[in-house]
Chain A
């Protein structure tokens, strides 16, 4: 096999299909959207080259930066929520009764499509007939808020289902990583007299640090480009109070018929995500490799 792998032709054949697909479906459209960003284009009639005007407008566009701030908030909250998922996984992985069943229950939201989740939570949040407000009213709140209509609340109300949606995914990753830690290490720690908490914080978490770093990057990048639930549940409204970068881009391109500007925003979204990813990678980089 080593012999085969040293042949450049073989390497090319292995790599080429994936490279072509990624190139045609991802990198070329990326560059194209950067190029369309230089145009004044309504998506239908002829394009007109206007240089960097769209990008300059975007940088001065208050609404764009508001939506970027909302995306960053989402990134922050999803990163914080990872702590909770980690705690749950540590408990699940420590052979408690029914951990198998619980793991499957946590995974269920991941199996639902985003639109189904959105419809479900629209019903939960309904101001007069919704589950949430019905519960609040029976326990004594007279005037519970209209969750998806109040500009000051709507963003955080939508964060709940977004975080809930991905809980199972991260719990699954952490669970698998934790299960990978050799039992002998835990055994040794126990013999040395370590408490369960010490085992969790001093042994388990450090040992899966590489996985934790990966999930942080996943959570942040996923949040910055997040779109689905926002689009279905509020469409970015009321008046931009729950707009994120991706939904703003969509609105410009498809509702305002401004594909040029929409593409420019899309390209900026890419750049912002790229910069943040690089920063995170740098900030969490370590030289030592973990060896069991």
Chain B
């Protein structure tokens, strides 16, 4: 009898010990940050895939910490898709980082509805006043209140391989007819004309958006999305038809619907395809990135999407602010978090131009900086832009964006007729 009790007792002690050890570990982790304040910061530029971005962020954090010795930045880095997932999971359990990255418009809205992001009007109207390119901070506003500080500004353009173009006596097209002729010439010579990774779907959306912009005018798609125009508009159907025309002409690399954007990019960068429609976040690869051979960087040029049948304005762009910073509404160190976000935006504006070669959402004085020529050209284009249409999947709410993206893949795969393509959009929007 005594033996039995002894064993039971021993077991219970053992289990309690295990529990106690587990708990004490957890306690130790928090103890270290007692003297100063810790701001948790999450971003989506891992060292591997976004080396320059990552480096700038580290520099900014170092600068901030040395200027504010009592504040520590606790950093977490995830890649794009994982970042989006984690942000959602954290928000369900109300554990958002104090400062993090968000996208504009449709992505932002549920977080604002849930009162998870802090209003940043005091910063935008205060120390950051007049610093942003007009139209960028507004994309982060819901009902007139700004909830995000934009970092990047991107426009989509067609990058092309000048060496391949020269080899076949081609020139950057000004009209859609010229573009089609180029596609034909390249195909006749066994060169894949356009690299497209449509597994990611937003890549194909860029093509549709530009065609809709050129055929139907720069406001049509935006109006259809906010339901002041109809998706049944013949111009939107025509744009969908044009997409399938391009597919029939073998414009895009083989198997594009199964390729990711990364794979398409590597085809373009390995000179296996002549053209690549992507936004200017890729500029460093063609200008400053030392990991890309100089010879290839020199051979890349870009042109704005051509006019279609004489319609459209080549200065109308698809694009928009990329990621921006949010501050968590429930943060315990909100003031420090806001300070950090504001500091980040300002220093980012200076460093991102020269070091990462991306276009910041803050105003840049191009004349005073020594910049690659392509960079200056893009900045000039931006200054002359007649219109900037925000990426369709960013404009739409998450539900509708999924329908749009799935439909894009079907349209390119010729599984859906142009008329059905637009009708499904209309249905999804009216069900919202």
> Is the pair A13, B12 in contact by a Cβ cutoff of 8 Å?
yes
CB 8 Å contact bits of A178-220 with B (1 = contact, 0 = none): 0000000000000000000000000000000000000000000
Partner of A128, one of B192, B257, B407: B192
Is B7's CB within 8 Å of the partner chain A?
Answer: yes
Supposing A10-B7, A42-B110 touch, asked if A238 and B413 sit within 8 A by C-beta, the answer is yes
Residue in contact with A13 in the complex, picked from B11, B110, B409, B413, CB distance below 8 Å: B11
Pick from B11, B91, B257, B409: contact of A10, CB under 8 Å: B11
A46-B114, A257-B110 are contacts. A147–B8 as well, Cβ < 8 Å? no
Q: Chain B interface secondary structure, helix, strand, loop or mixed? A: helix
Q: With A128-B192, A237-B199 in contact, is A7–B92 under 8 Å at CB?
A: no
Which of B208-216, B248-256, B303-311, B335-343 makes up part of the contact surface?
B248-256
Q: A3-B4, A44-B111, A149-B255 known; A251 and B267 CB under 8 Å?
A: no
Is there contact, CB below 8 Å, between B91 and A44?
Answer: yes
Contacting pair B114 A239 (CB below 8 A): no
Report the interface size class on chain B. Answer: 35 or more
B1-43 contact mask (Cβ, 8 Å, vs A): 1 or 0: 0001001100110010000000000000000000000000000
Would B15 and A44 count as touching, CB distance under 8 A?
A: no
Contact with A along B392-417 (1 / 0, CB 8 A): 00000111001000110110010100
Residue-wise interface mask of B (102-132) relative to A, using a CB-CB cutoff of 8 A (1 in contact, 0 not): 0000000011011010000000000000000
CB-defined contacts of A126 to chain B, threshold 8 Å:
255, 259, 263
A10 to B256, CA, bound (A): 62
* With A10-B11, A238-B257 as contacts: A43 and B92 at CB distance below 8 Å: yes
Overall SS of chain A's interface: loop
B227 contacts the other chain (Cβ, under 8 Å)?
Answer: no
Total count of chain A residues near the partner, CB < 8 A: 39
Residues of B within 8 A of A255 (CB): 398, 402
B365-389 CB contacts (< 8 Å) to partner A:
none
Instruction: Tell whether, in the assembled complex, residue A257 and residue B399 are in contact, meaning their CB atoms are under 8 Å apart.
Output: yes
Please list 24 pairs of residues, one from A and one from B, whose beta carbons are closer than 8 Å in the complex, sorted by A's number: A10-B7, A13-B8, A13-B11, A13-B15, A17-B15, A43-B110, A45-B114, A46-B114, A147-B255, A148-B257, A149-B256, A149-B257, A154-B258, A234-B258, A237-B257, A238-B198, A238-B415, A239-B415, A255-B402, A256-B398, A257-B88, A257-B399, A258-B399, A259-B92
4 tightest A-B CB contacts, nearest first: A146-B255, A148-B258, A127-B255, A149-B258
Known: A44-B91, A44-B114, A148-B199. 19 other contacts (CB 8 A): A3-B4, A4-B4, A14-B11, A42-B110, A42-B113, A43-B110, A44-B92, A125-B258, A127-B255, A128-B255, A146-B254, A147-B258, A149-B256, A149-B259, A154-B258, A238-B257, A239-B406, A256-B398, A256-B402
B contacts, CB < 8 Å to A: 4, 7-8, 11-12, 15, 84-85, 88, 91-92, 110-111, 113-114, 116, 192, 198-199, 201, 253-260, 263, 267, 272, 397-399, 402, 406-407, 409-410, 413, 415
